[in-house]
Amino acid sequence: MGRMLACRDLQLTLGGTPILRGVDAVFEGGAIAVVGRSGAGKTSLLHCLAGLRTPTAGEVTFDGASLAAMSEEDRARLRLERFGFVFQRAELLGELSLLENIALPLEMRGEPRRECARRAAELVERLDLSDCAGRRPDRVSGGQRQRAAVARAVVGRPAVVFADEPTGALDERNGRFVVDMLLQQCAHESAALVMVTHDAQWADLCDRRLTMADGVVAADDVSSASERASTGPQ
């Protein structure tokens, strides 16, 4: 079974406090919303799945390979080549233009400069960033920065895109635009999306909803979007 991300009995303790208490889940294709109250363990789960944090116990696997068994160099390579990331505040490099930020993952992988520029320009056009692609992040709006972050996350055609509260710093209009773009681009690139969100309306746009409570999975449900797609027009 290809490109499957999974965790088994995932546990994380920080400063003596249990954050994750034995999470079992499989993430394979489609868009998955991770929801729950603050402190439920959503972001910690995302960081463990992405190899950004080492769990205290349990295991995360990608394509059947254990992340814990990899060297730090191999995990970094996995994040660069197979994973994409969108954070709450974009986290773009201030000294680079939006276009250069978008192309950066490809350049870090050593791909030809012409191909980096072509792929980045394609996404700039697709995400309606042409008018501001040459500007630095501090010279554009929050919505434009976050669209550039979406483009950067998918430019390398990852297997999984992790998004941690990608609309947290945006108003509702820009938030909807960014979530729509994120869903469309992940579908276009055949990437799974794992999105942490507090907002039920964004979770409803995903195919599946994983509800966290007190460090465990309290519910794992098909979302209303997937139900609508399966039943078709009424």
Domain ranges for the chain, please list them: 5-231
CB-side neighbour CA atoms (13 Å) of 167: 22
State the pLDDT at residue 227: 55
DSSP state, residue 89: T
Please list the pLDDT of the chain residue by residue as tens digits (234 residues).
Answer: 346 899 999 999 999 999 999 999 999 889 999 999 999 999 999 999 999 999 999 999 999 999 999 999 999 999 999 999 999 888 999 999 999 999 999 999 999 999 999 999 999 998 999 999 999 999 999 999 999 999 999 999 999 999 999 998 889 988 998 899 999 988 988 899 999 998 999 999 999 999 999 999 999 988 655 554 555 554
Amino acid at 113: R
* H runs (alpha helix) in the chain: 42-49, 72-82, 98-108, 113-126, 142-154, 172-188, 200-203, 224-231
Distance of CA 155 to CAs 43, 84, 138, Å? 23, 8, 22
State the pLDDT at residue 223: 66
Give me the residue label for tokens 């434009």.
Answer: 144
CATH fit for domain 5-231, picks 3.90.1150.10, 3.40.50.300, 3.10.20.30, 3.40.190.10 = 3.40.50.300
State the pLDDT at residue 2: 45
Per DSSP bridges, beta strands 17-27 and 160-164 are: unpaired
Sheet holding 160-164, edge to edge: 83-86, 160-164, 192-196, 31-35, 208-213, 216-222
